[in-house]
Structure 1
Amino acid sequence: MGNLIYGAPGDEIPLDDRALLHLRVVVLAKLRRDEKFALSWDDEATGRSHTIWLHPAIPLQFVLDASTNTGLNRHWIEQLTAVANSGSGLRLLPEPLAEPAAIA
């Protein structure tokens, strides 16, 4: 279990390492293009839904507990990117069953 640390002083948002690894690819691509957008996810433990506003000026850290040497699932990144580019913003989706394909 990793953490997305958002803002200053930094709120820690616990997320599965694999999901966080894939979110990092999509989020950094959007922030690199100076895009601002919402990120939403459901907390299975509490049943609550959360949304934060991501902006290039807001501090953001991705802290993974496990090694990041696992392959990325290209289909999942494509799905997350498509949702991120929609009007509702990026939403954490379940990983599709497709074989992971290593992406550099």
Structure 2
Amino acid sequence: MGTLRYLAERLIGRAEAEGDLRGLKGEGQPLPQPEGGAFVDPVEAAGFRIMAREGALPPEVILAQQANALRAELKDESDPEARKALMRRLADIEMRRAMRMEGRRRGRF
């Protein structure tokens, strides 16, 4: 077990023993799924949350937000040509996001 994980487990155990984790918002509910699914490193996810709270978003998160906005537009669009254009833009964004995530996974970013 890594040092960071060991330290985190000890701190969580201490907080549980002292009752610091009782009565928190969301207690007893499943944790929200991180953006990006199961392939997001928990440490990176925590870093992303801190960056987002401070207003500094990594490119992957910005691309995910853009993709979500395009999906919403696509849902409401009825013109076939406009739908095709939106789908091309969405595919491009999803490809760039996947490339960034793969690069991060391989340690390139």
Sort the TM-score into its range (normalised by shorter chain).
Answer: under 0.3
Q: Which has the larger radius of gyration?
A: 2
Which structure carries more helix by proportion?
2
* TM-score normalised by L of structure 2: 0.25
* TM-score normalised by L of structure 1: 0.25
Which structure carries more strand by proportion?
1
**Greater relative contact order, per chain length (Cα 8 Å cut-off, separation 6+):** 1
